Each structure stands twice: as C-alpha cells, then as structure tokens.
Structure 1
C-alpha cells in the first residue's frame, strides 16, 4: 500500500500533560512477523469496526466511544485515558467530529501516530446540506466534494435554516469512503508494524471486496425509493443519502448539542403536512419525543436510523450490520409511506 493513502499523521510539540506512549514493537531485519501488533485505539464504533477488520487475528483495537454514547457528549474514562497513554496508533475521524480528542492527540509522544481519517486522499467529502440542495432539483448524478456547495449560514434557536455550514464529518456512512479508509488503515498499520504488513494488506483486500458487495446490495435495495422524501433528527446521513441517491429534505435539529426551537418545529410540521408520503427518522442518541410531537396529526411515518451503531456489538462485522440495518430502516418506512 502506498504511503500516499495515509492521511497526515498529527504530531505536535510535547507538553507537560503529555501521554507516555509505548514504543512500536519491531524486529530489525527479521523476516518473520512480529510477535505483537501495535497498540491501536479507535474513536467510534464504525472506525473501530474497519480497523478491527484490517487487524484480524493480530490484535483488537481499543474503542473509546462505546455503547450508545455520542462523540458530541463523550467524557474520558480512566480505561480510555490508559489506552491512549499506551497507544502506538490512533484512528479517528477528525476534530470536526471528535473534538474531545484534539487536546490529547496534540500532546502525544513523537512515537505515536494519530490518523485523522477525514484527511485520507480520495474520500468523497460533503459540506453540510449539500445533498439537500441537489435534491431540490432531483439531481443525484454528481458527487459533491469539500470545496463545493458551501453554506455559510446557521439557524438561531427559532431560525428557518435547514442546515449549517462546514465539512460534514460523517464520512463512514458512504461505503465507498469506507473502502478508501480501509486502504489508509492498512497502509498505516503496515508502516507501524512491517513484520505483519502482508497480513494487514490481505485483510484489507478481503474487506474491500465485502464492502464493494455491501455497497452494491444496498444500492439495489434502495433503488425503488430515490424519490421518497424524508427528514432526519440531525444532519448525519448526507453521505448515505448522496451515495444511494435518496431524497433527504433536511434535519429537525441543526446541532446535536442544541434542541430545535419552537419555530423550527412549526416549520417542519408545515413542510411534512404538504406531503403524505414523507418519513421522519429518530436516532438512538437523541430523544425521540420530538419526532412524535412533529408527526402527531399528520400522515407522516417514522423510523429510527443510527449513524454509530449504538445497539450493535463492536467488532469487524459491525460496519456491515450498521449499513444493512439503516437500509432496513429506510426501506421499512418508505414502504409504509408509499
């Protein structure tokens, strides 16, 4: 795997609050694989799943944001701080999503590699709301990249905006992006642990085939529903929407950290009242009562989608369950609505 696949490794000057990091294990000049894989930390479940798939039997990455936790509200646990202190490689999306990691990563030892996967060359990157602008014209043929479709407005508490500005960090919800990230993960691990490079590369190749099949199967399942309108709780499914050509109309809550205002709820009710075939989707990390309030007295249908896999068991298969379960949720609601 070429080094060109690896996102820039973030290393900053050492500070007083530095994390002690164990050295990489290597056998200089040895032809056989090293006895132990590097100590690896992954930020969120989907990233953890892809890393676990590349590592295979060589080791298990430590997961930071576990269970139904959200990276927006995550608080460090002692076990997580300990895992970071021993990490040789850390995989995360970037400070656009896991702001809680920015300071610890900034104080890592020079021996540790922190890989922000959102910086991986070759990813399709979207600005928040870019997909909705395209849906207004029902044009899904082009891909939207980080320098396109920028929106410089936000909504205030009772504002009328449908999306906020900036790079959308939910890149893993596009399986094509997951394939690109798997290449970067394998290249990073092979560089950190050259004795096991062939294993990482073989695991990544097998994972890439599975991801390609997953993408094709999901596209086929969702093909009948390109024109089925829907709203999400917050702006997290732009990449899924863009890849599978769905008709996302916007989000109820613009920011995960802030409840939508009364005017925003009224606006959504007014919009869904004009279409008897619309779906609204809740998320496990956020209270579902708002969805119930909005749809009461309308013909809208509801479902639950999950960008992180809150109820799924961490591991190499989680990513595949995550995409399949979300496809199930979309198809189930669209069938009821249509």
Structure 2
C-alpha cells in the first residue's frame, strides 16, 4: 500500500524534536511556507491553514496545468518552502525536475490524489470518437472537479499540516470539517439542479470533465481533443458535427485555457451552445475560489442544458 504522501527525512526529524522536547527550527514558529501547483490547492491550503500558512501557487489559473513552463521565481519559492502540494497522477510533469533543482532537502512533497478511485483511459467515454489517444497512463488527473474527491485531497492536506505543525493540528481539523460542510452544501445544490435536467449529454474540448460528469450524472458524448494544446483533424471535426446533429447534443464545454476556434466552428455549423467553464479556479471572473469555481461550472452548465 502506498503512503498518502511522500515524507522527507527532515519532516520526521521535526516530529522527533517535538516529541522529545528538543528545540524547534525557527521556521516552525512562523507561518508555514507552502507552495502548490494549481490554484485549487492554494485555496484549500488557506481554508485549512488560515493564518498559520503562507501559500504560493505556481500556476495562476490562466495557464494550462499540462504545459506550464516553470519560471526562475518558482525555483526560488521552492527553496524556501516547507511543503509542496501537488495533485499527482502525471498532471504536473514539470514538478519533479523543479523539486530536484531546488536542492531543498527538507521539502515535504504531498500528493493529494492518493487513495482516489481514478478514471482510467477512456472508460468514462465508451463509444466516443477521439482525435488523439494521449491520456495519462496512470489515469485521468482532473480529480478535484468531483467534490467527493476534493474532500479526500483536503484530508491529505490537513494531515500534512498537522504533521509539520502539530501545535495547531486541532485547529486544522476544525477548519477542514467546516470547509467540507460548505462543499457538501454546494454539492447538494448542484446535484438537485442537474437532477431537474433531462438531457445531460455534452461534447467537451478536452478530457478535464469525466469526474465532474460522473458525480453529477452527465454523459460525455465526444471530445474535441484528448490532449490540451493539440489540434483535431478535419475528419474528426466532421465526425463531431455529424454526432451533434444526429444525437441533438445541445452543449459543447470549452475552457478559457484552450483555443476557442474549434468550439466556435461546431457552434456555427450545428447551432450547438458553447459554454466556457474552467477546471482551474481563477480561470474566469468570479471563480477565484474552489467553491466559486464549482458553483459557476455547475450552474452555468445546468442552465445551458435546460435551454430548449
């Protein structure tokens, strides 16, 4: 069985110091310097950690999480960090070299997706015609778009904070519980919204949405591409146009991080609605937090699907 997150020797040394009553490193008396890969993790870290953490997200929400190119400032941030929170599952392929080059032997790397049931390959898209076949071999990494998965990821985060800063562990657990209640309230609202929509088939720009679709009872009938940044063939575009017309699909889901040219072609040729949703908090106005992003995505999509 894999451990819920990777723990460096320095983290164990800190725990031992605390247990034995030895002096605690100076950084433990200040807000924990935390670096995260995507904005969703930043929001969660701040919700759980409160005033006891100082969090920097490497990605702002406007870039693609797949093709991000680290900057020199990212390396500097990692050298000063105690924790690095990542999703894992091959989402942040650029992280490993960044960690190695930081030379930070005391960095605690937390993989927040551990223990989540992954959607493998195309299992959520049976019968879908695809332009490419370039899925993550470990499974689809966009796990946070299912609020049940988000709760698992937040628990890993709270575990890590409690390990590194046990003096505030009780507060971290209280914050976690309070925040999870907010997620559950929003999840119940969105579940009811989608329950009232009889037609739930969609075309998606790229496969960021299978966990969201599975949670809220949607069917992904097709994908424009299976790799962010790729371009579909003319033949595949014609296949999608035919499928939209044949099955009377009403909505194409695109993303602000991707080129809107092909969704616009599909809309022009078939009359399908293009709804721009964001898999990353901060990707659209009014989506700065996870709850805002999840609520925006769910309400916008449910409204579009309900239109005649």
- TM-score (norm. length: structure 1): 0.79
Aligned partner of 1:301 among 262, 265, 273? 273
1:24-77 C-alpha deviation (Å, 9 max, x unpaired): 6986749xxx63232111110112111111111222311100141111221222
**1:260 matched residue in structure 2:** 232
| Equivalent residues of 1:190, 1:200 under 8 A apart | yes
Structure 1 residue aligned with 2:253: 281
Match of residue 291 from structure 2: 320
2:263 corresponds to 1:291: yes
- Correspondences of 1:211-290 after superposition (within 5 Å): 211-225=183-197, 227-290=199-262
Q: Report the alpha carbon displacement of residue 288 of structure 1 after superposing the two structures with TM.
A: 1.1
How far off its partner does 1:313 sit? 7.2
Q: CA deviation at 1:194?
A: 1.2
Give the gaps of 5 or more residues in structure 2: 23-27
Point out the structure with the larger helix share.
2
Cα drift, residue 277 of structure 1: 4.2
Within 5 Å, which residues of 2 pair with 1:17-166? 29=21, 35-94=29-88, 96-106=90-100, 108-118=103-113, 120-121=114-115, 123-133=116-126, 155-156=131-132, 164=135, 166=137
Q: Would you say the 8 A contact 2:61–2:280 is kept in 1?
A: no
SS at match of 2:84: strand
Q: Does the Cα contact within 8 Å between 1:49 and 1:314 map onto a contact in 2?
A: no
Partner SS for 2:4: coil
SS at match of 2:246: coil
Q: 1:78 to 1:104 in 2, by over 3 A?
A: closer
Whether the 8 Å contact between 1:253 and 1:260 is mirrored in structure 2 is yes
Q: Size of the alignment, in residue pairs?
A: 297
Cα distance in structure 2, aligned partners of 1:129 and 1:273: 23
Two-structure CA RMSD over aligned residues (Å): 3.0
2-structure distance, mates of 1:154, 1:305: 21
Question: Which residue number corresponds to residue 17 of structure 1?
Answer: none
TM-score by length of 2: 0.86
For residues 220-274 of structure 1, the C-alpha deviation after alignment (integer angstroms, 9 at most, x for no partner) is 1111235421111000000000011112112111211311111111110111111
CA distance in 1, matches of 2:136, 2:159: 32
Deviation (angstroms), 1:129: 2.5
